[in-house]
Amino acid sequence: MAGSSKIVTIAGLAIAGAGLAHFVKPDAFEGLTATAFPENTQEHLYIDGAAETVLGLALALRKTRKLAVIGLLGYGGYLAANVLKNQTA
């Protein structure tokens, strides 16, 4: 059980790191963000970075882990829905 907890903590920190990377190197995420949010891409890029940072840190902390999992599922669904909505046929 302790080993899986450590893995989840590392995964949370990795997600938070990816979120912070949105602010450090935004051009690395621009293409992917534009797929989901073709309008106001730059704004959404920073919103996504903030969301990933917060959710990743919440996942890394044992006290907020369950809430973070729910948040990550919702966030993933939100991104997927926007990608599908903005796909051109």
79 Cβ partners below 8 Å, 6+ apart? Answer: 36, 48
Q: Full-prediction pTM beyond 0.85?
A: yes
Q: Residues 2, 7, 12, 13: is their CA dihedral positive or negative?
A: positive
| 14-52 confidence digits (pLDDT tens) | 999 999 999 999 999 999 999 999 999 999 999 999 999
